[in-house]
Amino acid sequence: MAASATMFVRSFFHGTRADLKPGELVVVGHQSNFIADPLSWVYFSGTLDAAIWGAELAAGGERQRIYVVEPTGAVEDDPNLTDKRFPGNPTLSYRSRDPLRIIGEVTGWQGHSPEQIEQMKEGLARLTEEGANTIID
């Protein structure tokens, strides 16, 4: 009797307001959702909820979008969350210096309530005022 192997495939998500198509790349050098300076990393998550926050907090007036993405290179835990707020990376938040390839778009997702979004924005503004809203880049 041959042993069977189970393969687990993880989906990764990227929340944004950019209008991208399958096959296109998310690359470094764009403004972050949280600070004005361009970053040398692209950020993504293994949870839809974290990607929803990314889309909801993204700057601009374009439609909020969530993409299923595939890393094209080395990946590491996002130290902005795993070192500061959620040790052990329960949010499955990652970053890479290499592009993320768009595989598809998630449609029909449910966002957070306006009250939750306002609370998050107020919390981020408070951190900025305190000088604590920094990105480890």
- SS3 of the chain: the string is CCCCCCCCCCCEEEEECCCCCCCCEECCCCECCCCCCECCCEEEECCHHHHHHHHHHCCCCCCCEEEEEEECCCCEECHHHHCCCCCCCCCCEEEECCCEEEEEEECCCCCCCHHHHHHHHHHHHHHHHCCCCCCCC
Predicted pLDDT at 1: 47
CA 23/CA 101 separation, integer angstroms:
6
Predicted pLDDT at 106: 97
Q: Does domain 12-129 have CATH number 3.90.930.12?
A: no
Q: How far is CA 38 from the centre of its chain?
A: 15
Predicted pLDDT at 86: 65
Predicted pLDDT at 131: 72
Predicted pLDDT at 85: 66
- pLDDT tens digits in sequence order for the chain, 137 residues long: 455 555 556 899 999 999 999 999 999 887 666 556 677 889 999 999 999 999 998 888 899 999 999 999 999 988 877 666 667 777 788 999 999 999 999 999 999 999 999 998 898 888 778 876 666 66
